[in-house]
Structure 1
């Protein structure tokens, strides 16, 4: 990977979108908050420095300015302008391009269930350029970089990329853990006898939708991080490799947990559906049993109501006899069905 700056003879203008800038040299913060058009000059002054440039919701003209400064490939620039790109890492002659998602979830019924920030990144030999397409907090990236001064001293631009990926993956792990905790409460309610109430089922479906959304952002991350460590890229050296592997391990942990959550919520919803089926079967069985109980006296009264003489016909004791037969037969059937738990 070989990314070089445009020479000083090229006239550049600053992008009009909101930007953040920081310059690190040997683990020490040299400058921050300077205009983006000063970046080439500062990098020329500090030959051992690396730069972070963040662009928030840049337009095509803003990215064209930055692309001219740092020789960014047009296809990568096009991907950075498009929304909802899949998580990926692409290699270009002068840089590599990544697209990743920082995620956040809420398990409260009144809050939006899932939020994500799409972040595109261009990585050259000395520059990390991030493009954020929705509101997000960059302080976590800055805090991570500032807390790893010793790593920054020897890590180069890979140090900046490591901090970015580490913060994103930590957020994904935390989101998966919050969903796991929330699912404990849903599990207790869904597995109650008789099936869960409708609000509980709706909350379970909401969690299933959230798990599906977060899975699309988390599942490709181990592959993206593994691609960034390829030796032919020349980005991650032997000293930084263990740190990237640690981030990759956390990404796999988050992916495995999300897969477990998906299987878990699907199993819970299926168990609740089966319990509802059991309740329906029980209700149907009871209705059938009551129909049988009612059928017996209906049959007997229908028989004695025919215009045929029978023992006790037109006698008082005949009436008593018919009533006792009805009560005893219906009561016997009721006791039999009761013992079989049909009633």
Structure 2
């Protein structure tokens, strides 16, 4: 797969040309145009070429190549470097696949670099090109469009995690508590924590992009980032609510496990008490006393047996009614 997904010049919100890397520097000199390049897991050599064309900072290029960065926003002179984590649910293996998208934003260019599991932004670009009156706002609107797409990808992930929580709750209350159920809850809690770590910094990033001290974002584009900010807050609240429910489910599972163990202990105690009666009688008659007058009576043996079994039956009925058996 070609690491250069798209390299396009826009003027007035409309696509005017597809560019080679060596043509970009000439287009950047034209103030009425801006360049939007999309890269997917580029090599270090390709990133160096992009760096030379856009005059990007060495540290930002190093981060964009190595990936595995925390979500952040950094300013390098007149260029912004933004890192976001992407997420999508792997329905085959039933876990979340995380990726990263890095942005280089300048006055007349935007470069997106995708790493790992991440949907292509072809549809985002097409949507922007179909609304030239919005894309004419420049690279800032392109940044918003991609960020909005990334945030929207989190909603199906949260919904899938909520469905997984419902399935776990059914296991807890409809089946006997098990070690597998506890393991599922912990795995769900870990996935929620991973999503939390990805989405929480995005709130601060959007907040900074809405502020007036970042001149690369035009004033008429900042309200769009408020929309991304609101969506991020909503996802964060959904995560907090789901995490609380998972914690409650874990506590319920532990409580039901303790109750189940208590029920087993009561059954053992009940049967031990019942078995203790014949054990006691047998122990008395096994002490071999020389004088035991009842041994000479013809009805003594059946009376002792009847009494023993009678006491066992009485204890069984008592424990049964008490819920111990």
Fold agreement, TM-score > 0.5: yes
Task: Report the secondary structure of 2:82's partner residue.
Answer: strand
From 115, 125, 128, the counterpart of 2:110: 128
Partner of 2:89: 105
Residues 235-254 of structure 1: pairs in structure 2 closer than 5 A:
235-254=216-235
> Is the contact between residue 87 and residue 221 of structure 1 (CA under 8 Å) also seen in structure 2?
yes
Q: In 2 relative to 1, CA 204–276 (structure 1 residues): closer, same or farther, beyond 3 Å?
A: same
Task: Report the secondary structure of 1:120's partner residue.
Answer: strand
Q: In 2 relative to 1, CA 265–175 (structure 1 residues): closer, same or farther, beyond 3 Å?
A: same
Return the offset for 1:316: 2.6
Q: Distance in 2 between the 1:146 and 1:276 partners?
A: 58
> Is the contact between residue 200 and residue 236 of structure 2 (CA under 8 Å) also seen in structure 1?
yes
From 81, 84, 93, the counterpart of 2:68: 84
From 266, 271, 274, the counterpart of 2:255: 274
Residues 1-343 of structure 1: pairs in structure 2 closer than 5 A:
17-32=3-18, 34-45=19-30, 47-106=31-90, 108=91, 110-134=92-116, 136=118, 137-153=120-136, 155-192=137-174, 194-195=176-177, 200-308=181-289, 309-343=291-325
> Is the contact between residue 87 and residue 117 of structure 2 (CA under 8 Å) also seen in structure 1?
no
Task: Report the secondary structure of 1:194's partner residue.
Answer: coil
165-174 vs 212-221, greater mean Cα deviation: 212-221
Matched length: 322
> Is the contact between residue 173 and residue 251 of structure 1 (CA under 8 Å) also seen in structure 2?
no
- CA deviations 1:289-340 (Å, max 9, x no partner) are 1011101111012213333334531333000110122012222222222221
Unaligned runs of 5+ in 2: none
Q: In 2 relative to 1, CA 287–212 (structure 1 residues): closer, same or farther, beyond 3 Å?
A: same
Q: Distance in 1 between the 2:114 and 2:102 partners?
A: 7
Return the offset for 1:263: 2.2
Task: Report the secondary structure of 1:23's partner residue.
Answer: strand
Return the offset for 1:202: 4.3
Unaligned runs of 5+ in 1: 1-15
Return the offset for 1:167: 0.4
Q: Distance in 1 between the 2:98 and 2:131 partners?
A: 26
Q: Distance in 2 between the 1:151 and 1:89 partners?
A: 24
Q: State the TM-score, normalized to the length of structure 1.
A: 0.87
- CA deviations 1:103-141 (Å, max 9, x no partner) are 1013x4x42511122111110101111112235422232
